Amino acid sequence: MNNEEKILEMLEKLTEEVGRHSELLAKQGELLEELDDRSLRSAVMLENEVLPKLQLLYEGHVHLQETLAPKERVEVLEDEVITLKSAVKMMAKRLDALEKAQ
């Protein structure tokens, strides 16, 4: 095999390799287009469905925060209820004692 034949053989191999690379690049281009389409659909869904639902959730959370009693106030009320329960128990015992004494 002379040099010219070797060069032609190498040229054929390179041409085949370039053809394979072209095919791979074309496939990658198609995959990128599909990925772009999916990304766009995801962005539209996020904007049209998810974000409004998150906004509603946030508004509900704000409403709950506005209507709930502060923790400090609840603690004060709990202390008052405990005091009142103790007073009622003590009065009930006194009343029982008075009724028994009669």
Rg of the chain over Cα atoms, rounded to whole angstroms, equals: 41
Listed by start position, the domains of the chain span 1-68, 69-102
pLDDT of 70 above 90: no
- Closest of 66, 44, 68, 64 to residue 56, by C-alpha: 64
Q: pTM of the entire structure?
A: 0.48
What pLDDT, on a 0 to 100 scale, did the predictor assign at position 63? 87
pLDDT band per the 50, 70, 90 thresholds, residue 101: confident
As a whole number of Å, the end-to-end CA separation of the chain is 134
The H or E element spanning position 72 is: helix 71-101
The answer to whether residue 1 scores a pLDDT higher than 80 is no
Q: What is the pLDDT of residues 33-67, one digit of tens each?
A: 999 999 999 999 999 999 999 999 999 998 888 88
